[in-house]
């Protein structure tokens, strides 16, 4: 039973108990969980408390509701090492996932007007935007910025679905010497939301990455918006190259 004397809210206690049952397999992937009415009877709590607990687990991606059928345990999300040395497309393929990469905006040299976090803000850089889809569903949007001198002429290369790390090494003899990554919850603008098939109020995993090269600091900057409903994006520690 739940502990009404605990400082932990009852809905949180129930959510934790159901989450533990999912982790141990007591509630298997694809299984229907007890109804709200049954959970009320099982734990002796009110229906609003049960609904709040289930809403929490739905937001976490552990449960999903099916209209007219009930609430079910979600299938575990595929994990993709998004920041591996092999590149975005290869990271999906390693997991047996046939991802399709589409160029959203072709690479071009342009004046960058962006947030202060972008090292190219207020000056020129090569800009490229591309979208990765999984089974027709958009899951990853990448906006990429490259140093105009270090990557001079990159706009003449075919970058569709290619690995920028391989292109940097093979065509420009550039390998990262260091860099920085930041992770936060971000919200897309209207154009990005349409591209990812979400709303501007949808919280997404936002990753910003800048790389240094021996020939110059801040030679590369990228901003990624990641949908995590169906894919878990991970990073293996020690990776220092860009996909």
Beta-bridge mates of residue 138: 133
Q: Which long-range contacts (CB under 8 A, 24 or more apart) does 5-11 make?
A: 10/45, 10/49, 11/49, 11/50, 11/52, 11/53, 11/56
The tokens describing 147, both together, are: 């140093």
Confidence band, pLDDT 50/70/90 cuts, at residue 241: very low
Reply yes or no on whether the pLDDT at 117 is more than 70. yes
User: What is the DSSP pairing of strand 78-81 with strand 231-234?
Assistant: parallel
Query: Which stretches does DSSP call E strand in 135-196?
Result: 137-146, 176-186
User: How far is CA 188 from each of CA 6, 185, 210, 212, rounded to the nearest angstrom?
Assistant: 39, 10, 20, 27
Q: In what order do the strands lie in the sheet with 204-213?
A: 99-111, 124-134, 137-146, 216-226, 204-213, 176-186
What is the arithmetic mean of pLDDT over 13-32?
90
Interhelix angle 47-59/10-24, nearest 10 degrees: 50
**How close are the terminal C-alpha atoms of the chain, in Å?**
49
Confidence band, pLDDT 50/70/90 cuts, at residue 232: low
Radius of gyration of the chain (CA): 22
Same-domain status, 118 and 195: yes
The tokens describing 53, both together, are: 């607990």
User: How far is CA 137 from each of CA 67, 86, 134, 166, 229, rounded to the nearest angstrom?
Assistant: 21, 22, 5, 26, 11
**Residue partners of 116: CB distance under 8 A and separation at least 6:** none
CATH of the domain at 192: 3.40.1410.10
What is the arithmetic mean of pLDDT over 192-196?
95
Range of the domain at 55: 10-73
Same-domain status, 52 and 86: no
Same-domain status, 134 and 93: yes
Cα 8 from chain centroid (whole Å): 30
Per-residue pLDDT of 124-144, as tens digits, reads: 999 999 898 887 889 889 999
CATH of the domain at 14: 1.10.10.10
* Measured distance CA(233)–CA(44) in Å, rounded: 38
Per-residue pLDDT of 75-105, as tens digits, reads: 766 544 444 433 555 556 565 666 788 889 9
- What does the pLDDT read at residue 242? 45
**Mean pLDDT over the full length of the chain:** 84
Confidence band, pLDDT 50/70/90 cuts, at residue 240: very low
Same-domain status, 38 and 133: no
Same-domain status, 105 and 221: yes
- What does the pLDDT read at residue 92? 61
How many domains does the chain divide into? 2
> Is residue 5 in some structural domain?
no
């Amino acid at each position: 039973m739940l502990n009404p004397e605990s400082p932990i809210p009852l809905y949180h206690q129930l959510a934790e108990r159901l989450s533990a049952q999912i982790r141990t397999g007591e509630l298997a992937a694809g299984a229907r969980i007890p109804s709200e009415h049954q959970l009320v009877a099982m734990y002796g709590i009110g229906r609003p408390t049960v609904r709040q607990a289930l809403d929490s687990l739905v937001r976490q991606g552990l449960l999903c509701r099916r209209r007219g059928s009930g609430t079910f345990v979600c299938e575990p999300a595929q994990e993709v090492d998004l920041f591996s040395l092999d590149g975005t497309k290869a990271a999906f393929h390693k997991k047996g996932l046939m991802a399709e990469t589409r160029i959203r905006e072709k690479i071009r040299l342009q004046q960058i007007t962006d947030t202060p976090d972008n090292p190219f803000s207020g000056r020129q850089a090569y800009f490229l935007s591309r979208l990765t889809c999984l089974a027709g569903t958009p899951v990853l949007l990448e906006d990429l910025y490259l140093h105009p001198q270090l990557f001079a002429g990159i706009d003449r290369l075919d970058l569709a679905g290619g690995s920028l790390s391989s292109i940097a090494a093979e065509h420009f003899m550039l390998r990262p010497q260091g860099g920085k990554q930041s992770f936060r919850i971000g919200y897309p603008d209207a154009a990005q939301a349409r591209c990812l098939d979400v709303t501007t109020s949808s919280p997404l995993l936002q990753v910003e990455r800048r790389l240094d090269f021996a020939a110059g600091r801040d030679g590369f900057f990228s901003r990624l918006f990641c949908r995590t409903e169906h894919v878990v994006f991970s990073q293996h520690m020690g990776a220092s190259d860009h996909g």
